[in-house]
A = this chain, B = another copy of it.
Amino acid sequence: MLAEIITIGDEILIGQIVDTNSAWMAEKLNQAGIRVKQISSVSDDRLHILKALEEAASRAEIILITGGLGPTKDDITKKTLAEYFNVGMVQNEAALQNVQQIFAKYNRPLLDVNRKQAEVPANCEVILNKNGTAPGMWFNHNGKIYVSMPGVPFEMKYMVEEEVMPKLKDTFKLPFIIHKTILTAGEGESFLAEKIADIEDALPPNIKLAYLPKLGQVRLRLSADGDDEVQLRAEIEDYAARIIERVKYAVVADEDVALEKAILNLMTKRRLTLSTAESCTGGYISHLITQHSGSSAVFLGGVVSYSNMAKENTLGVNSETIRQYGAVSEQTVKEMAAGSLTAFKSDYSVAVTGIAGPDGGTDDKPVGTVWIAVSNGAKTSAKKFTFGNKRIQNIERSATAAFSMLNTLLHEIEE
């Protein structure tokens, strides 16, 4: 079963927004055994939308469309769909009620443009939008399914989870596609590939291996398709086990999970707590941790000590240490890690201090110089990194390196 995703809107094509919707939808489709053949972003342009619909329908049975459903004049998806299906527009009562209720709830006057949001192509089945005024639309046209949804992520996500996926499962009898991901850190893609070359060569034709590198991490993804779910799972687990055995020193998790989530899972299991002391990462590490639900069982808190005074007042770093060795130094980062353990009474702490750039570098300590320490009180490891000259990357790489160091320290002590 093949699907295509079409996102409509000039804002993607001029790069003003990143298309996160497509990845999210693709993941949901894949989990249901639907392969995404192509993702296309096209402009708010009638002919271009029509062409994209035709092309997608020539390749796939399911076409998910997002965007271009707003009340304003640049949004033309709905009338273009009506033209594509050669039908007129009708007012949908349920959609109109939904719009009216939303405006009543917020005590806003209902404008004509808002009322028009309840108009839909005559051949569609309306998917109610619980989070906004633009209705979703489900079309079954010559056996192919077209679904048009708003581009606002949380409106679209709700529709996909609650309405679209269940309807697709009802409509089609779906094959199984299974993915198994192994998260590694600290080794390069080609090194890993060389290590497991014989396992990869021996994979049967229905199982594929992909390498997904990302700053300091490589994900190894096995994908299997077939009809017998139980057998597929057994096969893919067997190959995953062989790979893990071969490169186990680099393995962080045997599932597709964020690095920090793998650490949270481990610390939750061991009932350990964590705190952070961040300078150049500016709260990014604590944000990565706290985006995960359940993180409060492990994470007690952190300090973003952006100024020297903050390092002294909130973390108890000795002003003399900063004066003598500098804010970016082994001595300072170790005192930050110790201060974090004390301030939050946590079992473990992570501390980062560095020069994210683009300003602040010196000959001695150029932009990209970062000191990271991890500590459990009994043992403190500190390490200097020399990243590049791009601020955002330095922040991201520092966070990845900090989590890798914490993972290593946690694995030094087996349960």
Contacts and interface: CB of A to CB of B under 8 A. Distances in A.
B304 A303 contact: yes
Contacts of A131: 388
A313 B341 CA distance: 13
B307 A301 contact: yes
A356 B291 CA distance: 9
A135 interface: no
A114 interface: yes
A40 B37 contact: no
B306 A310 contact: no
Contacts of A296: 306-307, 360
Interface in A193-208: 193-194, 200, 208
Given A38-B42, A307-B301, A154 B189 contact: no
Contact of A390 (B154, B310, B344): B154
How large, as a class, is the contact surface on chain A?
35 or more
B282 A284 contact: no
A231 interface: no
Contact of A194 (B113, B278, B314): B113
Interface string A292-311: 01111001111111110110
Contact of A282 (B35, B52, B133, B289): B289
A402 to B, nearest CB: 13
A203 to B, nearest CB: 10
B306 A283 contact: no
Nearest to A391: B293
Interface in A135-166: 152, 154
Given A41-B39, A72-B189, A310 B300 contact: yes
Nearest to A106: B188
A184 interface: no
A11 B212 contact: yes
B23 A18 contact: yes
A313 B301 CA distance: 11
Interface stretch (A26-34, A87-95, A119-127, A232-240): A26-34
A82 to B, nearest CB: 21
Interface of A: 10-20, 22-30, 35-44, 48, 52, 55, 70-74, 108, 111, 113-114, 131, 133, 152, 154, 179, 181, 188-191, 193-194, 200, 208-214, 219, 221, 223, 256, 276, 278, 281-287, 289-291, 293-296, 299-307, 309-310, 313-314, 343-345, 356-360, 388, 390-393, 395
12 contacts: A11-B212, A12-B23, A14-B30, A15-B30, A15-B36, A39-B40, A70-B211, A72-B189, A108-B188, A113-B193, A113-B194, A296-B360
Given A14-B223, A17-B23, A38-B43, 17 more contacts: A10-B210, A11-B212, A14-B27, A15-B25, A16-B221, A39-B40, A40-B40, A71-B193, A131-B388, A133-B190, A282-B295, A283-B283, A287-B287, A293-B357, A302-B303, A302-B304, A314-B314
